[in-house]
Chains A and B, each alone.
Chain A
């Protein structure tokens, strides 16, 4: 009996797993590349035949539109409008992320509260809001809250003369610039003092064992030094007032910014609350019991024992919510807020070519999301359990 498959019998290449593995990889790549190449070719041919420009030259053209609330004239270039749009997207995203996180953590803790009313209210909030589409929430906030529930400018609500509420805009008190440089110097002085105080407190803490509380000491010093310095230099608080058809003075909050912010915060907070609740429940019960056994108060137990461990679990899914919030802010485009999407739509409506204009918007969103991811990853690394 001779064996049929001798070592000398060569496997044909089309049955060789090593070859086939490569063929498949190359094949998949080729299909994807071919489809993209085909679409690209069509795009080129079609834009060329109908004379649509495909370059980014439109960025240098005048915009021909105005941006309310910004120092902007219709003669400025499209690229400047993009910058304002990008800044507005960042502004609503950053403020939204901070507020949504705070609200989300409060509601997440509230759901686990032993207080029946608090826990039921939190549950109702989460179950209501989480099951609504964001666009519906936003439309409701714009039509119901901002337009109807806020007073008209003629009878604007001005509590204590410090705030202005109307459906044309809100005004908050703001500091009056004394001089950019002097404020910067004050801040530098304050932070230097913080650093020195922190060193001193840590030394005291090392020697006596008393809590360092360097943040408390340093922060207080920073605030006091900046505020007194600013007042001494002649700084005054700029109060908002109603000036005919508009709110002037202080810092103005555009009604559409307010609406978008409220909708984003309310919506995202419901998701964050669930993440926080899940993360807290993932902490072993013994941790809370141990904290109670050490006679820590309810707040101390949550703040010093449970939350630090829960946040470790919560950070990666929180990062996802932050990315969602940034991307969802594009819904603002439908409600007169000049975010990057709105600027792109308007400039396209005024004659800029659609494909390059939206390519630019697309790249901005990708960049923003990647930058956010980097921050989330840094936070994740800092909070991760250090294993030795």
Chain B
């Protein structure tokens, strides 16, 4: 008797499961929980607010930011568990803009080869991990790249006592790179272009690569020049044991990325990033941002979310309808700083100069749409 009851209950639950499975997969317009248990919207724009990543983030009151643990200048995991660096600060910028608190960030350390999978599976909300924006990543990895935070290019580092003076001296040599990066392809392409017949060896992580380089397994160490500067500064034999060759042989625009198919979230992250650049252009710094709230310039007051009087004489606060709080730019600058300050804090100490990463008014490439 007991057994038949069990059988019946079992049968019933199976049928219920079947029915549930059928309805949830046939109704594709619904939001379906993927295997990871995260909500991913099937909607196609900011107009549809249900199930957006923005809502998830607001609900969690925390931004999960894909980053790394050991790239000097960009993101370094400290002994106390915090992350310090240029990329880590941009994670904070997003948190300050969206949640009003720069510390509401969960930094998720990712291996280079896993970063897009983490983004696709919903393990992270945004990827800020010195990632190069390329067409095939845009198309193939389901990533939407946003405003470039750093315009980089690939270069070559060699031992200081090696005979190499330029990349074209390095015929037949062994060039080591990190795996799963655009670096591999660039090095192979450069070798083919110059007819140098390099042996390009990809390593899983920079620690292993450094061991190999120290042991003399590699002639050259190729990576984005900003990374090389950082790695050189942390080299065990001292920075003077290494030399960076003058050539830069690729375009590496490093940009944050979010998952395709959620325009609202993409816009939110984009404007949070762009606010740092706009703030520098307006001359708003962490120190003077409170004074700037009372600035004579209505553009600045509008940008910071302060009240101002518009042309019709109405006292108003600008809300462009991005889904961000009106004072997001104030929070970003107050808690983290403008682009120049972030750069000075993390990249300048490594010896990196602004170069093409200067504001457009200074002859650089940083140019953001106006905030109005």
User: What 6 pairs between A and B have smallest CB-CB spacing?
Assistant: A349-B180, A41-B25, A351-B136, A64-B185, A66-B188, A147-B215
Q: Shortest CB–CB separation between residue A62 and chain B, in angstroms? A: 9
A51 & B200 in contact (Cβ 8 Å cutoff): no
A209 interface residue per 8 A CB criterion:
no
- Look across to chain A and name the residue whose beta carbon is closest to the beta carbon of B204: A334
A258 interface residue per 8 A CB criterion:
no
C-alpha spacing A352/B214, complex, angstroms: 32
B251 interface residue per 8 A CB criterion:
no
**Which residues of chain B (179-234) have a CB below 8 Å from chain A?**
179-182, 184-185, 187-189, 191-192, 198-204, 208, 211-212, 214-217, 219
* A350 and B259 contact, Cβ closer than 8 Å, known pairs A49-B41, A50-B142: no
**Which residues of chain A (24-63) have a CB below 8 Å from chain B?**
24, 27, 30-31, 34-35, 37-39, 41-43, 45-53, 58, 61
A74 & B40 in contact (Cβ 8 Å cutoff): no
A336 & B40 in contact (Cβ 8 Å cutoff): no
B188 & A42 in contact (Cβ 8 Å cutoff): no
C-alpha spacing A94/B116, complex, angstroms: 34
Complex interface bits, A1-26 against B, C-beta within 8 A gives 1, otherwise 0: 00000000000001100001001100
B14 & A66 in contact (Cβ 8 Å cutoff): no
User: Which of B18, B32, B184 touches A350 (beta carbons < 8 Å)?
Assistant: B184
B261 & A45 in contact (Cβ 8 Å cutoff): no
* A147 and B217 contact, Cβ closer than 8 Å, known pairs A334-B204, A350-B136: yes
A73 interface residue per 8 A CB criterion:
yes
* A255 and B217 contact, Cβ closer than 8 Å, known pairs A65-B184, A346-B113: yes
A245 interface residue per 8 A CB criterion:
yes
A335 interface residue per 8 A CB criterion:
yes
B140 & A58 in contact (Cβ 8 Å cutoff): yes
A153 & B216 in contact (Cβ 8 Å cutoff): yes
B168 interface residue per 8 A CB criterion:
no
Q: Shortest CB–CB separation between residue A219 and chain B, in angstroms? A: 38
A14 & B7 in contact (Cβ 8 Å cutoff): yes
Name the A residues within 8 Å of B294 (CB-CB).
none
B142 & A51 in contact (Cβ 8 Å cutoff): yes
- Look across to chain A and name the residue whose beta carbon is closest to the beta carbon of B41: A49
- Chain A residues packing against B (C-beta within 8 Å): 14-15, 20, 23-24, 27, 30-31, 34-35, 37-39, 41-43, 45-53, 58, 61, 64-66, 68-69, 73-75, 142-143, 147-148, 152-154, 167-168, 243-246, 255-256, 333-336, 342, 345-346, 348-354
* A41 and B32 contact, Cβ closer than 8 Å, known pairs A27-B14, A52-B140: yes
User: Which of B7, B35, B134 touches A39 (beta carbons < 8 Å)?
Assistant: B35
- Look across to chain B and name the residue whose beta carbon is closest to the beta carbon of A34: B21
B248 interface residue per 8 A CB criterion:
no
**Which residues of chain B (146-201) have a CB below 8 Å from chain A?**
172-174, 179-182, 184-185, 187-189, 191-192, 198-201
A24 & B7 in contact (Cβ 8 Å cutoff): yes
User: Which of A34, A143, A168, A346 touches B174 (beta carbons < 8 Å)?
Assistant: A168
Name the A residues within 8 Å of B34 (CB-CB).
42-43, 45-46
- What are 22 A-B contacts defined by CB distance under 8 Å? A20-B4, A30-B18, A38-B24, A45-B32, A46-B34, A50-B142, A50-B261, A51-B142, A51-B261, A52-B120, A74-B188, A142-B208, A147-B211, A153-B216, A167-B216, A168-B217, A246-B172, A335-B203, A336-B204, A349-B116, A351-B140, A354-B117
Category for how many chain B residues contact A: 35 or more
A42 & B120 in contact (Cβ 8 Å cutoff): no
Q: Is the interface of A mostly helix, strand, loop or mixed?
A: helix
User: Which of A15, A342, A349 touches B112 (beta carbons < 8 Å)?
Assistant: A349
B260 & A147 in contact (Cβ 8 Å cutoff): no
**Contacts beyond the supplied A23-B7, A348-B113, A352-B140: 13 A-B pairs with Cβ under 8 Å:** A50-B259, A50-B260, A51-B142, A58-B140, A66-B188, A73-B188, A74-B189, A147-B211, A147-B215, A333-B204, A336-B204, A346-B113, A351-B136
A49 & B261 in contact (Cβ 8 Å cutoff): yes
A45 & B28 in contact (Cβ 8 Å cutoff): yes
B322 interface residue per 8 A CB criterion:
no
- Look across to chain A and name the residue whose beta carbon is closest to the beta carbon of B178: A349
User: Which of A23, A46, A147 touches B40 (beta carbons < 8 Å)?
Assistant: A46
Q: Shortest CB–CB separation between residue B138 and chain A, in angstroms? A: 9
* A38 and B21 contact, Cβ closer than 8 Å, known pairs A27-B11, A50-B142: yes
A65 & B41 in contact (Cβ 8 Å cutoff): no
Name the A residues within 8 Å of B241 (CB-CB).
none
Name the A residues within 8 Å of B117 (CB-CB).
348, 354
A65 & B215 in contact (Cβ 8 Å cutoff): no
- Look across to chain B and name the residue whose beta carbon is closest to the beta carbon of A66: B188
Name the A residues within 8 Å of B141 (CB-CB).
52, 351, 353
Q: Shortest CB–CB separation between residue B125 and chain A, in angstroms? A: 13
B180 & A348 in contact (Cβ 8 Å cutoff): yes
C-alpha spacing A46/B10, complex, angstroms: 31
